[in-house]
Structure 1
Amino acid sequence: MKMTLPDNERAVWILKTKGPLPLIELAKDLNITTEGARFQLIKLANEGLVETRSESKGKGRPQQVWSLTSQGHARFPDAHADLTVKLILKMRDTLGEDALQDVIEANGRDGKEKYLKELANVSDLEGRIGGLARIRDNEGYMATCIKDEEGYLLIENHCPICAAATACMGFCKSELDTFRAVLGDKVSVERVDHILAGARRCAYRIKDRA
C-alpha cells in the first residue's frame, strides 16, 4: 500500500506501521531533528490525529510515547465502512445467519483461488509468504513479512474491512482459513495479534511443520 498522506502527516504513517514510538525514534524515522519532530507532532495532536502518554520502563524517568488516536487511524481507508456494515446487518436480518456465513465462505473461496493463482509459480515457503504479503499490501492491508528465529511473521498494519469484521467475525476466520489453505498443510499459521482484540495490528506466526 503506497503512502498517500501529505508530507506533513508522515508521522501518522510511521505510527501506523510501527506502533507507538518515543520522540527520538520518530525523529530518526522522519530524518529531522527532535525539535522538528516535536513541532510536527504537536500540530498533528492539535488536529486530533496523535496523542502522547507517559510510559515507564525500568529505572529512570518516564518516557513520552506518541501514538495514533482513533481519528488518526481513520486517515487510512476502510472500504466504505458504513455501507458495508449496513449491508451485513441487513443480510443477517433478512436472510439469516447461515446465509451470511455462506456468503462469507464463498468470498473466502474467491480470495483463496485468487491468491493460489497469483502464487502458482512460487514453490518455496519464504517466496509464498512474501508473495502473499505483497498481495495483501496491494489490497490495502499495509502488509509486510519478516523472518526471525521462530519462523516468519506476516504483519498487517491496517485492516481496510475492519468495520465489516467488527460486525461479523466470520471475515477474520475466513482470512485465517485462506492463509492456511494458500500456504499448505505442511505449514502452521496462527494469528498472534488481532486488531479486533485491541492490538494495533493483525499478525500471523507462520512455521514450517517440518
Structure 2
Amino acid sequence: MSGSGNPVAPLSVSHDGHTRAAIVQLLLEHGPITATSISSELGLTAAGVRRHLDALIDAGEARAASSASWQQRGRGRPAKQYQLTAAGRGKLAHAYDDLAGAAMRQLREIGGEGAIKEFARKRVASIVANVSSTTGQDPKATAEKADEIAEAFTSAGFAASTRKVGTGVQICQHHCPVSHVAEEFPELCDAELNAFRDLLGTHVQRLATIANGDCACTTHVPLIQISNLAGAQPAPAIRKEAE
C-alpha cells in the first residue's frame, strides 16, 4: 500500500473487469467486430483491447477469424474479426435453461406438438405486441418496421439490430436468452420467423441461428417485391467459423 493509503492493485483489477465486461458486451451486440472498432467505441488503445481479446480467446470465450472478402476495405492483410463463442455466450444469461427445458418437455407430453407451437406463437406475440403489421409494399416502411421489430426484441433481451444489405435489410439478433432451449425446440425459432413474415407482410428468409451454432440469428427481409428480384440472392450472413 502506498503512503496515501490507496489500494492500487485492487483498483487495477476492478478497472480491468469493467473493461473486459464492456468488450464482451460489444462482441455480443456487434460481433464479429475488429479490435480497432472496439478500441474506437470504448476510447481504448488497440493494444489494450487485444490484451483482453487474447485473454477471452485463451479462456475459450471468444474466437478470431479473418474478415470475408466482401468485408475488406482497401488493400493489405484482412483485419481479424472477433466474436463470442458458445461458451462465452453461455456465461451471460442461461440460469433457467434446465427449468425451461423441463417445462417445455412436460408441456409436449401433456399437450403434444400443437401445445409447443401455440406456446411459441404466444411467446413471440408478447414480444412484438406493440408492433403493428405492414403490407410490405413500400421499401421505406418495410425497413422502418424491421427497425421496430429489432427494438422490440432488444427490449426482450435479444440485443437485436438491423443492417442494410444488398436489396434488403437483415434483422440480426446477437443474443438469444433461450438458445439452449431452442436447440431442442426449434418451434421457438419457427414462431419468430412466422411473426416477422406477418408483421412485414413479405417473404423473409432465416439465414442463421444461434441455436444452430451461428454467431447471430440473422433474417433477410427483401425491400423490393420478390417478383422484381430477377434472381438476386440475399447477401450471406456471417456464420460461425469451423473449429
TM-score normalised to structure 2 length: 0.66
How many residue pairs align between the two structures? 198
Equivalent position of 1:14 in the other structure: 26
Equivalent position of 2:119 in the other structure: 103
Root-mean-square deviation (Å): 3.3
Of 213, 216, 220 in structure 2, the residue corresponding to residue 205 of structure 1 is: 220
The one-letter amino acid paired with 2:192 is E
TM-score normalised to structure 1 length: 0.75
The one-letter amino acid paired with 1:137 is T
Cα contact 1:48–1:69 (8 A) shared by 2: yes
Of 157, 172, 178 in structure 1, the residue corresponding to residue 174 of structure 2 is: 157
1:123-177 deviation line (CA, Å, top 9, x unaligned): 9223222111111111111111122431211111111121221121111111111
Aligned-partner SS, 2:207: strand
Aligned-partner SS, 1:6: helix
Shift in alpha-carbon separation, 1:15–1:130, aligned structure 2, 3 A? same
The one-letter amino acid paired with 1:156 is Q
Deviation at 1:206, TM superposition (A): 0.9
Question: After the TM superposition, which of the residue ranges 16-25 and 132-141 deviates more from structure 2?
Answer: 16-25
Separation of aligned partners in 1, 2:158 and 2:151: 10
Cα contact 2:146–2:162 (8 A) shared by 1: yes
Aligned-partner SS, 1:141: coil
Cα contact 1:79–1:161 (8 A) shared by 2: no
Equivalent position of 1:115 in the other structure: 131
Separation of aligned partners in 2, 1:115 and 1:43: 41
Q: Which runs of 5+ in 1 are unaligned?
A: 118-122
Larger Rg: 2
Matches within 5 A, 1:177-196: 177-184=194-201, 187-196=202-211
Aligned-partner SS, 2:205: strand
Equivalent position of 2:158 in the other structure: 141
State the identity as a percent: 23
Q: Which runs of 5+ in 2 are unaligned?
A: 1-16, 70-75, 134-139, 226-243
Separation of aligned partners in 2, 1:27 and 1:112: 34
Separation of aligned partners in 1, 2:209 and 2:62: 21
Deviation at 1:48, TM superposition (A): 4.9
